[in-house]
Amino acid sequence: ISADGVRTFELAAQTGETTFTAGVRTPTWGYNGAFGGPTLRAANGEKVRVVVRNELSEVTTTHWHGMKVPALADGGPHQPIHPGKTWAAEWTVEQPAATLWYHPHNHGTTEAHVYRGLAGMFIIDDKVSPEDSPLPSDYGVDDVPVVVADRSFAADGSFDERRRDAAGMLGDTLLVNGTVSPSFAATRELTRLRILNGSTARSYRFELDAGPLLLVGTDSGLLPEPASVAGVTLTPGERAEVVVALEPGQTAMLRSVPHTLGLLGTTERASGTRDAFDVLELTRGEAGSGGGSDAVKHASLSDLTDWVDAGGFFAAAFPAEAEPDKRRTVTLQDNKINHRRMNMARIDEVVTVGDRERWFVTNEHFLPHNLHIHNARFRVHSIDGRTPAAELRGWKDTVYAPPSRTVIIDVEFGTSTDPHLPYMFHCHLLQHEDQGMMAQFVVV
Ligand code: C2O
Ligand code: CU
Ligand code: CU
């Protein structure tokens, strides 16, 4: 925290070298290091300043994914940081506890910059000191970031940026926080995993071999109460917070299992959904005692009261009597949104500040696509008229859009206005985004 009471962070985007496998050096990019980035953390209500220095030889940007921010601070393609220059973003956090992240967003090179290693987590807390949270909250001890990304390696050890499928670059090696075949030694009964799908194209279906997962949070916030789920599917950019309970001496494996994205068989295969990975091994030593998991199972975590009232279901994300202020249709085609490719000089949509909007999102294409909206959070109202799975019932900022289906979302935007400087909404499969599957909106 600096003298003026602003929580200040400094990031330097730089090149480096990382040893993922013994004896092999891979050229990588990172924030304040060779790969990945430090976890930034701030509380609801705090003033934040991040100063980003570009030590790369090409233009980049740094975007705060999931954050409600003034357009000037968003870090999208309209805030380029030229080589050797710095950019300072400042805003006041106005949102509840959530696991957000940050990554480059330069139009046309986002996929490459993320793939080379630029990405980090940005944790929002409800209060400056979260001690009284019912959830494990001791960072690195029982509250652990799990940034999952796939890579393929060329013969010389460098990242292979050429192997492409329709979804984008699918790697055969998983990195968790930049580590191959990672293991976490738990020292307490409960461990909270903040899982981020930081891949550019691959989706995952996370399951624990030891039993169900206790889901406590989605992209933009905590659930009203934990939900026991068999697994969680995350497409690129999505997050889930889960709590895992381990007995003394127990070992468990977090896996990604074959799953379906509702595609044609050949497209499923080409999108990597048939692949299986060990993601993270969790071990607990013999020492220590149990207790605590029952308390968490019934904890009240956030005030999404409609969830509780409807017994885990809700008919409408906004209270029934509150009709949306505006309805909008978003259709997805091959690298297009509403039949148009991204044009940085064109404003596609104008949102009135304070309005609650209902978006009807239809994937008219056969490939997997998702939709991420900047400066916003939303609830999934329904998918083809059906109530979504538990993992989609909390606050979200990115949602998968299966082919030939309509996902209805209820969107709430940030409070800043700027009639000229836009935010983006786009597919978060980064190859698609780079190729123009992105559109712009202003909030006025
Ligand atoms: Cu995660 Cu427009 O970004
Ligand atoms: Cu974003
Ligand atoms: Cu896409």
What is the mean pLDDT of the segment spanning 111-118?
Answer: 98
Average predicted confidence (pLDDT) for the chain: 93
Residues 40 and 96 in one domain: yes
Q: Is 261 in the pocket of ligand 1 (CB under 6 A)?
A: no
Residues 83 and 149 in one domain: no
Q: What is the pLDDT of residue 314?
A: 44
Q: How confident is the model at residue 289 (pLDDT cuts 50, 70, 90)?
A: low
Q: Which ligand is nearest to the CA of 104?
A: 1
Tokens of 406: 């309509």
Residues 297 and 360 in one domain: no
Among the atoms of ligand 1, which is closest to the Cα of residue 76?
2
Q: How confident is the model at residue 269 (pLDDT cuts 50, 70, 90)?
A: very high
Would residue 316 count as lying in a domain? no
CA of 163 to the centre of ligand 3 (A): 17
CA of 166 to the centre of ligand 3 (A): 9
* Collapsed DSSP state (helix, strand, coil) of residue 405: coil
Count CA within 13 A, CB hemisphere, residue 142.
19
Tell me, what CATH number does 31's domain have?
A: 2.60.40.420
C-alpha–C-alpha distance, residues 335 and 237, integer Å: 18
Residues 107 and 28 in one domain: yes
What is the mean pLDDT of the segment spanning 229-236?
Answer: 97
Asked if pLDDT for residue 421 goes beyond 60, the answer is yes
C-alpha–C-alpha distance, residues 411 and 381, integer Å: 10
State the DSSP string of 15-55.
EEEE-SSTT--EEEEEESSSSB-PPEEEETT-EEEEEEEE-
Q: Is 237 in the pocket of ligand 1 (CB under 6 A)?
A: yes
> Domain tally for the chain?
3
Q: What are the pLDDT digits (tens) for 41-56?
A: 999 999 999 999 999 9
Q: Is 65 in the pocket of ligand 1 (CB under 6 A)?
A: yes
What is the mean pLDDT of the segment spanning 30-38?
Answer: 98
Q: Are strands 120-125 and 40-43 parallel, antiparallel or unpaired?
A: parallel
- What is the value of pTM for the model shown? 0.96
Q: Is 50 in the pocket of ligand 1 (CB under 6 A)?
A: no
Count CA within 13 A, CB hemisphere, residue 405.
21
Residues 95 and 17 in one domain: yes
Residues 44 and 103 in one domain: yes
C-alpha–C-alpha distance, residues 255 and 251, integer Å: 13
Q: Is 78 in the pocket of ligand 1 (CB under 6 A)?
A: no
Q: How confident is the model at residue 129 (pLDDT cuts 50, 70, 90)?
A: low
Residue percentage of the chain with pLDDT more than 70: 93
The protein residue whose alpha carbon is closest to atom 1 in ligand 1 is 65
Q: Which of 424, 360, 383, 398 is nearest to 196 (CA)?
A: 398
Q: How confident is the model at residue 130 (pLDDT cuts 50, 70, 90)?
A: low
Q: What are the pLDDT digits (tens) for 212-223?
A: 999 999 999 999
Residues 23 and 78 in one domain: yes
Residues 254 and 330 in one domain: no
Would residue 1 count as lying in a domain? no
Q: Is 369 in the pocket of ligand 1 (CB under 6 A)?
A: no
Among the atoms of ligand 1, which is closest to the Cα of residue 103?
1
Q: What is the pLDDT of residue 323?
A: 78
Q: In this structure, what are the phi and psi dihedrals at residue 110, rounded to the nearest 5 degrees?
A: -60, -45
Would residue 137 count as lying in a domain? no
Inter-CA distances, 49 with 91, 127, 129, Å: 7, 18, 19
The one-letter amino acid at 58:
E
C-alpha–C-alpha distance, residues 104 and 52, integer Å: 11
Q: Is 36 in the pocket of ligand 1 (CB under 6 A)?
A: no
Would residue 420 count as lying in a domain? yes
Residues 234 and 118 in one domain: no
C-alpha–C-alpha distance, residues 214 and 96, integer Å: 20
Residues 299 and 155 in one domain: yes
**Residue whose token pair is 């978006």:** 359
C-alpha–C-alpha distance, residues 154 and 24, integer Å: 11
- The residue from 303, 337, 355 where one domain ends is 303
Q: How confident is the model at residue 313 (pLDDT cuts 50, 70, 90)?
A: very low
Would residue 189 count as lying in a domain? yes
Buried b (16+ CB within 10 A) or exposed e, 312-335: eebebbbeeeeebeeebebbbbeb
Asked if pLDDT for residue 319 goes beyond 70, the answer is no
CA of 374 to the centre of ligand 1 (A): 7
Q: Which ligand is nearest to the CA of 64?
A: 2
Q: Is 432 in the pocket of ligand 1 (CB under 6 A)?
A: no
CB of 178 within 8 A of CB of 117? yes
347 burial via Cβ count (<10 Å: 0-12, 13-18, 19+): middle
CA of 64 to the centre of ligand 2 (A): 6
Higher pLDDT, 304 or 326: 326
- The residue from 70, 97, 125 where one domain ends is 125
Q: What is the pLDDT of residue 290?
A: 60
Would residue 103 count as lying in a domain? yes
Would residue 131 count as lying in a domain? no
Among the atoms of ligand 1, which is closest to the Cα of residue 424?
2
Helix H or strand E segment including 270: helix 265-270
Q: Is 424 in the pocket of ligand 1 (CB under 6 A)?
A: yes
Among the atoms of ligand 1, which is closest to the Cα of residue 237?
1
Compute how many other C-beta atoms are within 10 angstroms of the C-beta atom of residue 284: 22
Residues 214 and 258 in one domain: yes
* Collapsed DSSP state (helix, strand, coil) of residue 277: strand
Q: What are the pLDDT digits (tens) for 139-166?
A: 999 999 999 999 999 999 999 998 788 8
Residues 331 and 235 in one domain: no
CA of 104 to the centre of ligand 1 (A): 8
Q: Which ligand is nearest to the CA of 337?
A: 3
CB of 376 within 8 A of CB of 413? yes
C-alpha–C-alpha distance, residues 193 and 215, integer Å: 10
Domain containing residue 358? 326-443
Would residue 374 count as lying in a domain? yes
